[in-house]
A and B are shown apart, each in its own frame.
Chain A
Amino acid sequence: MNSPVKVHSFHGGIHPPENKRQSTGAPISAAPIPSRIVLPLQQHIGLPADPVVNIGDRVLKGQLVAEAIGRISANIHASTSGTVVAIEPHAVPHMSGMPSDCMIIEADGLDEWVEHQGLEDYTSLPKPELIEYIRQSGIAGMGGAGFPTDVKLHLGDDHIVNTLIINAAECEPYITADDMLMRERADQILGGIEIIAHLLKPLHIMVGIEDNKPQAIRALHEALDDSSLNIDIVIIPTKYPSGGEKQLIKLLTGVEVPSGKIPADVGIVCQNIGTTTAIYRAVKYGEPLISRIVTITGDAAGHQQNLEVRLGTLFKDLLDHTEAERDQLYRLVVGGPMMGITVDNEEIPVIKTTNCLIAGTSIEMPPQPPAQACIRCGMCEQVCPAELLPQQLYWFAKGREFDKASHHNLFDCIECGACSYVCPSNIPLVQYYRFAKGEIRKEQEEQRKADHARLRFEARQDRLEREKIEKEERRKARAEEAAKAQAARKDAALTKAAAPAAEKASGVPDLKQLKSNAAIARTKLKKAEKALTNAQEKGLDGIDALQATVEQLQQKCDAAQKAYDDAQKAPAAPAKPALDIKQLKTNAAVARTKLKKAEKQLLAAEESGSDDVDSLKAQVAELQQKSATAEAAFKAAESGTTAPTAAAPAIDTTELEADIKAMQAKVDKAEAAWKAAVESESPAADKMAAGVDKLKGKLKDLQDELAKAQASRSQASNSQSGSTPAAPAVDTSELKADIQAMQGKVEKAEAAWKKAVESESPAASKMAEGVEKLKGKLKNLQDELAKAQASSAPAAPAIDTSELEADIQAMQGKVEKAEAAWKKAVESESPAAAKMAEGVEKLKGKLKDLQDELAEAKASVAPAAPAIDTSELEADVQVIQGKVEKAEAAWKKAVESESPAADKMAAGVEKLKGKLKELQDELAQAKGANQPAAEPTSEPTPEPLDMKALKQQVSIMRTKLKKAEKQRAESDNTDPALDAEIEQLKQRHDEAKAALDAAEAELIAAAAKEGIDLKQLKIDAALARAEVTKAERALSKVEDASDTSELEAALVAAKTQADQLSATLERFTE
């Protein structure tokens, strides 16, 4: 009563009718044990608790049934003994009226306590443990907000708490729960305050209590007399809403809690009086928070009183207990009339924050009258305890200008309802504020989510970008590597193929191309002409067009022919002055035939009376002229042949002639020597016989060799004949080679014969015969050569370097042999040594000449010279190999017979082997060089199993074909060569494709044999399932029975399919 504390005041406030007297008449009585307890898992601010018992478990009174999750949460205990029957959504006292998860316990009526025990001396316990003990009891603020109490008790840890305020104001009308509690259990309240004070150690403890509760004030004072605590009981004037936390602080201390802060920030902690009792009971008796005092009031509530109610008791049970008049009941309100919520369901349980239940009649709580327009009276501003501008906030909320509402401190509104209470227009202002707050919170939440999504989106974009760059880099690296590898390959190929490729590219193929062009043009022309005559005979339409085509073709043909002739003349001129007689002959023949045809056409045209007889006549005249010129050219060429034959291959023939002459001289000499030997009957007959035998064997070998060489030569020439326009040239070179070989043989035979003669062998006569035979052969060959030259000499191409090289090689062989023979002769002190030395000298000179010639020829013809023919090389290699073999055989024999020449022979064999090696290397190189050039033209090698290769081939063919077609499309005049190429490519493409198709078909067949693909099956099954769900949805959408049968059928079909597929799938997976 004698409070030393100065009571301040807060702005605004109202004085609604108190209506507290009705429920204070009777003392607190215990509510009966309900048959069913419904415990919402969330009865507090924060996260809902997590059930720790299962459905069907028997729980005892005070047993923990749901555990707090996280910092801000509270335990929940069973409020009576019984069985957990369900954990399910149930109606709860919430403004939304939405159900939320509840634990439903079927009470057994025994009300059997779990084993529990209070703390004997809580002061001996460390504070954190004591707070944890209180937390375990599940105590949350019982004033209305339900903030977990242990959190508030921890405030002493990081805040300086100098004032503890116990809120006993209970300003809302009707509610008397705290009043009755103070009247009856003041000692418990003080005990609770002691515990809180022990934990927070405040300098000052105040109990704020409104002056409309004198009995409670007296009871508190009485209790305080027995307590050692220094508590100020501050009596404050009755005014709504002095029980609000911030308002009470303002009243008791004059301090205003800043906007957006909590009282602890200004050193103050507030606790509700009910909470203190709960803390006391928890610490003293170990009883968790399982019951609370609830005021049952309102005109329809029957016996209006305060009841100690177990948490989870349904309103229905309470109203039944107080014998509420249900017919009078108009509105059921949970909490006070100002801030409580109206519920339309009695199946709602009492929770930790339920302090009052008002069963109002329609007179007591009439429906809210309809809202009128705001008249800007400003009364709301005058009563607002938070000193806000309710009217402004109303406009902002209504106009959805939430930013402005926020700027007007909407969130400082405590939703006390004072403004609505005084509003003359009955505007539900608080609802507008609640709506605005909700919208702003939603927006903030969305903004937070959007920011989060943006972060994730940007992170993803970065990641994708990074991956792209990495991929690109990898690709580049790979491409570089591939390019390097290719370049290396190309370099290798180039070094090998440099010479032949370069040579091939020039001159020769051009000529060939031109020739084929000309040929194609001619064929086309002929066809067109035929068509024209046909058309003319039958008198069809479109003759003009045909004629135009024919003319065009003729022009083209002429142009092609001319180009070919020009090209032929130009490169041929320096090499051979004469024209190709054969070509000229054919030209002349062609011209003649053309002329004849044209004449025939003219006749036909004249007979059919065609209009263009004149043009045909002109054509005929032209052709006649052409024919004449062609024939003239042919004749001129023919007459001039003799001179060029002498001039062009002059070098070869003169040389050969000289050779032949020398040979003949030798033969003559040998014959003379032989005759002398026979006459003098030499004693060396035996040796000579053996030597002659050997020589015969050698001769035989040589003949075989010659045959082989000829065979390979002819092969080579065959392969060349396709590509070289002047085929007969090869023949002559072959003949020449034959002659040379023959000459070599003759020489050898002569040498042997000479030896024989020297040693006076009896076989000399036989040898003489052999020499004669050989000479005859040589003569024949020479004749043949002459003939060949006569017929085709002018057509002979530029001097063949390869031929020259062969000559040189043969010459070298000769020189070597001659040298060997000479040495032998010197060793055996033969009288023929001097002569032999001369021969060797001569041969060397010849070799020199040949080499010079080769150098010249190479210098002059190098670009035009064809690629080194591998077949030729191969033949060379074979020849050398034969030689090596023979030489080895000879050497072995010599070793056996202990000949003194064995050492030398060994050296010779070595030399030959070296040569062979060289040739083989050369051959390998030539082949390597030829291959890359040969590849593109060669037929695609069929690899039926390698699908990839086949596919590649097909695509390559396609691209080539496309390129060629494109080329054709680009060039206006249809190039016949291109057409031909395209035809060819098409054919190849078709071939490759056919191969690919065959291979694919094979693969598919193989796959089918292997069985059903599991993966495919899985996907099929999933798709089938999707189909079923779709069908189901469609069916559910239709509903109205008319055409469901169809849909049902579809559904059944889909289901059976899905079942089948999944059955197969299962079989496979199992």
Chain B
Amino acid sequence: MSAILIAILVLLGLGLVFGILLGYSSIRFKVEGNPLVDQVDSLLPQTQCGQCGHPGCRPYAEAIVNCDEAINKCPPGGQSTIEALADLLDVEALPLDGDHDEDPVKAVAYIREDECIGCTKCIQACPVDAILGAAKQMHTVITSECTGCDLCVEPCPVDCIDMLPIETTPNSWAWPQPKPGVELIATDRSPGIALEGKA
């Protein structure tokens, strides 16, 4: 009888000790906000374009963490973002949702300045304040700040905003991926050479 009692008391004591420990640490090491949301948010491309159906990148990150939103709804991020998210959240990487281009072309907005009437509508639409101008004054895009979200194109009443693809310069050029080793036979690569050789 006493043995049972002792066992119960010991267990109760252990429970009490660990309970206090856990309670203390939950207060002492409390993390403000949801760190996972921040992590997800940092992986998103921050174009704030709203193509995911959420009003900005952070809301999408919150939806992913809190509402089980699919991770494949970010066209600007592309496959690499999906993979990064899948890696972070330990879920399966999905192909990009919808009928978006596989590899989206990065673009920046460009205002044809002699056509601008200075209505400031694009300024209000820009999520990152990358458009400079004032009422009745010509506007222009700060190219280095533009995320290419194209939210400014729709509101323009005179249709003077173009999305110009960012041109590759020798400085921004990068090596393409080598073709995978499927050309097992020399003639596969360039039939012309083989023919010439025969001739």
A residues at B contact (CB < 8 Å)? 42, 92, 94-96, 98, 100, 367, 369-373, 398, 400, 425, 427-428, 431-432, 434-435, 437-439, 441-443, 446, 449-454, 456-457, 459-460, 1018-1019, 1022-1023, 1025-1026, 1029-1030
Contact = CB atoms under 8 A, between A and B. Distances in A.
Contact of B128 (A96, A369, A460, A1030): A460
A439 B185 contact: no
B147 A432 contact: no
Interface stretch (B7-15, B18-26, B39-47, B65-73): B39-47
Contacts of A460: 127-129
A427 B181 contact: yes
30 contacts: A94-B173, A95-B173, A100-B170, A367-B193, A370-B186, A371-B181, A371-B183, A400-B83, A435-B174, A437-B174, A446-B45, A449-B46, A450-B42, A450-B46, A451-B42, A451-B46, A453-B46, A453-B128, A453-B145, A454-B46, A456-B145, A457-B48, A457-B127, A459-B129, A1019-B157, A1025-B158, A1026-B157, A1026-B159, A1026-B160, A1029-B115
Contacts of B168: 96, 98
B173 A457 contact: no
A92 B175 CA distance: 17
Contacts of B186: 369-370
B46 A95 contact: no
A113 to B, nearest CB: 32
Contacts of A443: 80
Contacts of A370: 181, 183-186, 188-189
Interface string B167-198: 01111011111101101111011000100000
Contacts, number: 111
A216 B115 CA distance: 67
A297 B147 CA distance: 48
Contact-residue bracket for chain B? 35 or more
B57 to A, nearest CB: 7
B95 to A, nearest CB: 14
B155 interface: no
Contacts of B159: 1026, 1029-1030
B161 to A, nearest CB: 11
Contact of A456 (B117, B129, B193): B129
Contacts of B145: 452-453, 456
A1022 B177 CA distance: 46
Contacts of A400: 80, 83
Contacts of A369: 186
Contacts of B174: 434-435, 437-439, 441-442
Contacts of A453: 45-48, 128, 145, 147
A95 B158 contact: no
B85 to A, nearest CB: 13
Given A1022-B115, A1023-B158, A438 B170 contact: no
A162 to B, nearest CB: 35
Contact of A454 (B57, B130, B158, B173): B57
B170 A92 contact: yes
Contacts of A442: 174
A460 B128 CA distance: 7
Nearest to B185: A370
Name which of A95, A450, A456, A1018 has the most chain B CB atoms within 10 A of its CB: A450
A96 B167 CA distance: 13
Contacts of A372: 181, 184
A856 B36 CA distance: 84
A855 to B, nearest CB: 72
Given A367-B193, A427-B181, A1022-B157, 7 more contacts: A42-B170, A370-B188, A373-B181, A435-B174, A435-B176, A451-B46, A453-B46
Q: In terms of DSSP, what is the predominant structure of the interface of chain B? A: loop
A98 B173 contact: yes
Name which of B128, B129, B193 has the most chain A CB atoms within 10 A of its CB: B128
B193 A457 contact: no
Given A457-B128, A1022-B158, A1029-B159, A98 B169 contact: yes
A823 B158 CA distance: 97
A927 to B, nearest CB: 50
B59 to A, nearest CB: 11
A431 B177 CA distance: 8
Contacts of B183: 370-371
A686 to B, nearest CB: 95
Given A456-B145, A457-B48, A1026 B158 contact: yes
Contacts of A459: 129
Contacts of A428: 178
A427 B57 CA distance: 40
B117 A1018 contact: yes
Nearest to A445: B172
A373 B182 CA distance: 9
A1025 B115 contact: yes
Contacts of A100: 169-170
A1029 to B, nearest CB: 7
Nearest to A1015: B136
A563 to B, nearest CB: 60
A1055 to B, nearest CB: 14
Contacts of A437: 174-175
Name which of A425, A432, A443, A446 has the most chain B CB atoms within 10 A of its CB: A446
Contacts of A441: 174
Contacts of A434: 174-175
B128 A456 contact: yes
Nearest to B44: A450
A451 B45 CA distance: 8
A700 B174 CA distance: 119
B57 A435 contact: no
Nearest to B106: A446
Nearest to B184: A370
Contacts of B184: 370, 372
A42 B175 CA distance: 19
A829 B16 CA distance: 118
Contacts of A98: 168-170, 173
Contacts of B80: 400, 443
Contacts of A456: 128-130, 145
A457 B46 contact: yes
Contacts of B130: 456
The list of the 7 closest CB pairs from A to B, nearest first, reads A438-B174, A371-B181, A450-B46, A96-B173, A434-B175, A370-B183, A453-B46
Contacts of B193: 367
A42 B172 CA distance: 14
